Every structure is written in C-alpha cells, then in structure tokens.
Amino acid sequence: MASDTTHADTDGTDAVENRSEIVFAYDAEDTNPNGNPLSANDKPRVDETTGKAVVTDVRLKRYLRDQLDDDGLGVYIQNPSKSDADSVLDREDLFTAATGIDDDELGDMTGSEAADAFLTNAVDVRYFGAAVTFDFDNLPDDFPGQFIGPVQFSHARSLNKIVRKSESKQLSTVVSSGGDAEQGTFAADNRLQYAFIPFHGVVNERNAGKTRLSQTDVERLDSLMWRSLKNQTLTRSKMGHQPRLYLRVEYATDDFHIGTLDDGFELTQEKPDKELRNISDVVLGVDDLIESLSENRDHVEAVHFIADRHLTVEANGETGGADHLSDQLAEAVGADNVVEVDPYDT
C-alpha cells in the first residue's frame, strides 16, 4: 500500500479551518509554457486577441502531481510518461496501485472505508478531486462517484504580450533502421521568447473535509508549488521555467477571500513587451495587491511568501527585491502575520 497517511484526522485536530488564496508567478524563457496537443506541432497556447500566453490549470496540476509522486506520496492520476508500466493503466489498476486494495478486498469494505483508503493514499485527489467511476465487481454501492477538489486554480495569462521565437523552427531526428538505411523525422520547434505567468488559486475549507484534505496538506503547498516548477520542467520542451513569487494568504474570516489577487500584478518596467528576454528585464508592480491586503487586513490570518532573489518588485514608489516586498506586506497586514517560507525546509 502507498506510504502516505497524512489526511484530516477523524478528531479534527488537523482539519482545514481557514480558507487560503494563492498567487504563484513564474516565468518561461525560450520555452513552450503550455503546448496545445490539438494544434500542429504542439504550438504554445496563445490568446490571439490579446497576444498573451495561456497556461491551463491542468498543466500546473500535472507539475504538482509529478512532484507529489517524486516525493513518495500516492498519486491516482499518474503521468504515463513517468510510469514503469508496459501500458497505460486503467482506472481500476490506478485505484489498486494507489491503495493496494484489489477487487476481492473491496467486498469486505463499506463505501466509507473504501473512500477513506482511497483518499488516504491518493493525495492528488485530496487536493484536486476526481471523477471516480470504477468497474469493480465488489465496489460498495455507497462509494462516491466524484470527489470535488478543494484546491482549484484558474487558467493563467501572461502579464506581457509574447513574441514567438523565429530561429530554430525545425527539428530533425535521424536514426538508423539497420544497415546503411536511415530514417528521419521533422517537426517544428515552437517556443516563446519570454512570458511572465501568474496563477491564481483558492483552497476551499468547505470542501476540504469531503476529500480529507488536512492542514498539513495545505501547508505542503508552500513548498510543493515552488519545487514542482523547478523539478518538473527539466525536459527539452520545458527547460527555461523558473518560479519567481509565491503568496498564500490565509484568512481568519469564515467563507471569505479577496478574490483574483493576481489582478494586483502588473509589469511596470519601461522596456516594451517585445523586448523582454529574462527576469532582469522585468519589474513587477504590486501596489494593487498590497492595497487589497491592507484594506482587508482584519480578515487576514497570515501571508506566507517566497520571492526569488532575481525578482524586482515596485511598490509605494520604490523598487527592490524580497526584502522590499516583505516590508510592504508587513505594512499591509502586520509584521507578525508575514511568514517567509523556505521551500526546501520540509
């Protein structure tokens, strides 16, 4: 059976009590942030009206699931490209792989017991939910057919208008087929020059109990999101991603969150979008974000943040790095409510 057993305790000691709102910004340099498999040669997703890159929540969740898997935690929706299996597993095989429970054993369990075993060992379902229609002969009738994930992210759009790379448009691969014969394939290499991409998400405490999401799971996100972007983009098509800013605002007020905190970001450097090439060209304006937090400080329990040392932020008429951001957050919500996270202190 999978080794992870961290979920909401039945006595409520590790239950999620507060709603959290997340903003997570990263950049993508000379890479394809999110290809569209329905397009020719997996072209990057771009909003043709605004000229901005688009990255779906599915792409982000794949990074997170793969990192959970690498961390040794049970994952239900596995990445076929990372699986050791000879073929793609069906839903029943995935259930058994996550839980260690086969069809015969299900006959001795109630629906609640089977659901608890599933959620205990499939940590990605605790976070993101899943539709789970299984074709087991002995699956209890009261086993839920769907788990609604308490952690959800919106699609992201880059703050800048992107420029498609004009060089290295075509790839060629030549392999020997035996003897002197060789075969080759050609494909377009679709990349963007640069994109600065902010994601917005919410951890819904109301749904957390339904998937056994725990406070420990929520706090894991503070490390998981940063490390997943670093570790799960070490492939040819994804090399060039770097996390730049993470904020998780934890609220003290029931059923409250500010909403779309990522709208508080803007790029304020003088250099136009078409000339942006790396993080040194970028100045991230956060005045609206700081103002939103300040106006709602009575609702804020804590702000957990990570800032990359190369990030430059502009706030209150001044620019600076992580220390400047920390000072502005402290002024907005109080120094005791600002927590700088070390993503590798896990």
Q: Count each helix (H run) and each strand (E run) in the chain, helices first.
A: 9, 17
pLDDT in tens, 18-55: 999 999 999 999 999 999 887 767 899 999 999 999 99
Q: Strand, coil or helix: what is 108?
A: coil
Q: How many CB atoms lie within 10 A of CB 133?
A: 10
Contact between residue 312 and residue 320 where contact means Cβ atoms under 8 Å apart: yes
| Token digits of residue 140 | 């209890």
Dihedrals φ, ψ of 180, to 5°?
-95, 0
Contact between residue 63 and residue 153 where contact means Cβ atoms under 8 Å apart: no
- Per-residue pLDDT tens digits of the chain, which is 346 residues long: 344 445 555 456 799 999 999 999 999 999 999 998 877 678 999 999 999 999 999 999 999 999 999 999 999 999 887 766 555 678 999 999 999 999 999 999 999 999 999 999 999 999 999 999 899 999 999 999 899 999 999 999 999 999 998 654 555 555 555 555 565 555 577 899 999 999 999 999 999 999 999 999 999 999 999 999 999 999 988 999 999 999 999 999 999 999 999 999 999 999 999 999 999 999 999 999 999 999 999 999 999 999 999 999 999 999 999 999 999 999 999 999 999 999 998 6
Nearest to 311 by CA among 246, 244, 234, 214: 244
Strand partners, 174: 184
pLDDT in tens, 169-204: 555 555 555 555 565 555 577 899 999 999 999 999
| Token digits of residue 135 | 């074709």
Nearest to 228 by CA among 306, 290, 130: 306
User: What is the rounded radius of gyration, in angstroms, for the C-alpha atoms of the chain?
Assistant: 22
